[in-house]
Amino acid sequence: MSTSKKLENKVAVITGATSGMALATAKLFIEEGAYAFITGRTKERLDKVVKEIGKNVTGVHGDAGNLADLDRLFEIVKKEKGRIDVLFASAGVGEHDNPLGSITEQGFDDIFNVNVRGTLFTVQKALPLMKDGGSIILNGSIAGLKGLPGATVYNASKAAVR
């Protein structure tokens, strides 16, 4: 029986990997042999996750909604590994208790900037480094199919990603 791992010698970029599904994905990809570049908006949390994972990981502090941060991320990937085999675009922000009628322009912009604009530009900026046959995975949410009460803008942003 072969002991090779599914992602042996692959390079993965996982945005928003300081919690949730993206963090679980980063751990799984590394367990399966990948080297992962992970991002997070909170440096302390990102540093903690990198230390927790312990190997085959580089943490890159940044916000997926900030194009300069995305440029820096992909420059680091290019410099250190030169390619991407798997892109897992998962960075996102949410809202709680913000029903229709109480939505602000700033709240809308904050959520769509990361969840929709950030996802699109993450993929676009990764393309020059994507290896032929690579995978691009857009991680959404059940909220894109079934609206969550009080999360009108978040629901809409996840539907846009879907």
Q: Compute the half-sphere exposure of residue 61: CA atoms within 13 Å on the CB side of its CA.
A: 7
Over its C-alpha atoms, the chain yields an Rg (Å, rounded) of: 16
**Of the residues 85, 154, 155, 156, which is catalytic?**
154
Residue 76 main-chain phi, psi, to 5 deg: -65, -45
State how far the Cα of 61 lies from the Cα of 41, in Å rounded to an integer.
Answer: 6
**Could you give the angle at the alpha carbon of 121 between the alpha carbons of 89 and 144, nearest 5°?**
50
Question: Which bin fits 48, alpha (ψ -120 to 50), beta or left (φ > 0)?
Answer: alpha
User: Is 35 one of the annotated active-site residues of the chain?
Assistant: no
Report whether 154 contacts 111 (CB < 8 A): yes
Q: Catalytic positions, please?
A: 154
